[in-house]
Homo-oligomer: A and B are copies of this chain.
Amino acid sequence: MKFGGTSVADLDRIRHVCSLVKQQVERGDRVAVTVSAMAGETNKLVGWARELAPLHNQPEHDVVVATGEQITAGLLALALSASGTPARSWMGWQIPIRTNSTHGSARIETIDPTELNACFQEGLVAVVAGFQGVTHENRVSTLGRGGSDTSAVAIAAALRADRCDIYTDVDGVYTTDPRIVPRARRLERIAFEEMLEMASLGAKVLQTRSVEIGMLHRVPIRVLSTFEPDGEGTLVCDEEDIVEKKPVTGIAYSRDEAKITLHRIPDKPGVAAAIFGPLADAGVNVDMIVQNVAEDSSKTNLTFTVGRSELNRALEAIEKAAAAIGYRDLTHDTGVAKVSIIGIGMRTHPGVAQTMFRTFAEKGINIEVISTSEIKVSVLIAEEYVELAVRTLHSAFDLEGI
């Protein structure tokens, strides 16, 4: 069971979480609980750290910020013990949850289940501080924002748990954002691969890395609401456990997009390396790429997208490499957004992309860039059309609730 920051925001909510864990234990299950910091706590700590050291010393930053989860873990263990459900807290270094040394966005390498299993043998609920681990240098590390999801699924995998229940403030994964499409429907099941695309393409229910770990170790993840715990939520599971496969399962969108175009670059081998090498060195993640045929055959245009926060870094990297690339103009546009349709059913239902393009054409929405994979089609459009695009696709692919 994993509870996020809003689920443990104050003592009353911690008591509520305590009662949910207690119920699960009373059903005869062995339970490990992963908790986030109380809502607001992490921001407070991050604020203090930034104010004192704008330059950043990420290892110390982690030392400060990781206390948020430690507090919640201790408090929940206290509440459980006081309510007659023996429990003990675990910090990353105690288990240990071993991570690499990329402080602030560390990656879990191994979790030793020995101590936690011994804890279960003693009849204790294990309450694990999420979001944190310990490096090989024995320093506290944090996994980055939303890292508690990753902690929870990784712990479930290490324990070979039957399931990882992620309690959050929504009651499941929806066909799309209900703020845009009020008739969006809660999915009963979604495949790992689909959830992975949904998460990376903008749906914020689960952290991408947590879905990857669930997929790799085949740990079903259930997303459900802390505040309506009797709901069924959404089960993120193996593809073979999903019977009815519609062509499209869900629609995601992201406004965090910026488009960069290099005009009239030489159309010859090596030019892509000259562009994307410097971008990779600058730590810029390039998403969609399209190369157009230009006026004359020796020159072409190249367009790609990056996250908006990485735009300036990307432009600098390109400008520095201008001589090696040899472009005439460099333009960019932040008034764009990405809309994606996702579904494992695409593999067996041809014509899905065509439906999408026809729908957009009918509404007069111009597609600027297209990117596809086996189970998704993403398009870049002008940002102002996002809501219209999502609503239109939702009904075109028959995703409406009953």
Which A residues contact B (CB, under 8 angstroms)? 11, 14-15, 45, 48-49, 51-55, 57, 59-64, 66-67, 70-71, 73-75, 77-79, 81-82, 88-89, 91, 93-94, 138-140
Q: Are B49 and A78 in contact (CB under 8 A)?
A: yes
- With A70-B67, A89-B60 already in contact, the answer to whether A14 and B52 are too (CB < 8 A) is yes
Binding site secondary structure of chain A:
helix
Residues of B within 8 A of A94 (CB): 138-139
- Give the shortest distance, in Å, between A38 (CB) and chain B (any CB): 9
What are 29 pairs between A and B in contact, CB < 8 Å?
A: A11-B51, A14-B52, A45-B71, A48-B71, A48-B75, A49-B74, A49-B75, A52-B75, A53-B79, A53-B81, A53-B82, A54-B82, A55-B82, A57-B78, A59-B88, A60-B74, A60-B78, A60-B81, A60-B89, A63-B73, A63-B74, A63-B77, A63-B91, A64-B70, A64-B75, A64-B78, A67-B67, A67-B74, A94-B138
**Copies per assembly:** 2
Q: Are A52 and B15 in contact (CB under 8 A)?
A: yes
Quick one: closest B residue to A69, CB to CB?
Answer: B67
Q: Give Cα A53 to B81, complex, Å.
A: 8
- Give the shortest distance, in Å, between A33 (CB) and chain B (any CB): 13
Residues of B within 8 A of A63 (CB): 70, 73-74, 77, 89, 91
- Give the shortest distance, in Å, between A195 (CB) and chain B (any CB): 33
- With A64-B75, A77-B57 already in contact, the answer to whether A52 and B82 are too (CB < 8 A) is yes
Quick one: closest B residue to A77, CB to CB?
Answer: B60
Q: Give Cα A49 to B91, complex, Å.
A: 17
Q: Which 8 pairs, one residue from A and one from B, show the smallest C-beta to C-beta distance?
A: A63-B74, A64-B74, A53-B82, A53-B78, A67-B67, A57-B81, A60-B77, A52-B79
Q: Give Cα A64 to B81, complex, Å.
A: 14
Q: A60-B77, A63-B89, A94-B138 are in contact. List 5 more A-B contacts (CB 8 A).
A: A48-B71, A49-B74, A52-B82, A57-B77, A60-B88
- Give the shortest distance, in Å, between A141 (CB) and chain B (any CB): 13
Q: Are B78 and A67 in contact (CB under 8 A)?
A: no
Residues of B within 8 A of A14 (CB): 52
Q: Are B64 and A82 in contact (CB under 8 A)?
A: no
Q: Give Cα A63 to B78, complex, Å.
A: 10
Residues of B within 8 A of A61 (CB): 74, 78
- Give the shortest distance, in Å, between A350 (CB) and chain B (any CB): 56
Residues of B within 8 A of A73 (CB): 63
- Give the shortest distance, in Å, between A369 (CB) and chain B (any CB): 42
Q: Are B52 and A78 in contact (CB under 8 A)?
A: yes
Quick one: closest B residue to A67, CB to CB?
Answer: B67
- Give the shortest distance, in Å, between A320 (CB) and chain B (any CB): 28
Q: Are A64 and B71 in contact (CB under 8 A)?
A: yes
Q: Give Cα A57 to B77, complex, Å.
A: 9
Q: Give Cα A73 to B45, complex, Å.
A: 13
Q: Give Cα A55 to B81, complex, Å.
A: 9
Residues of B within 8 A of A64 (CB): 70-71, 74-75, 78
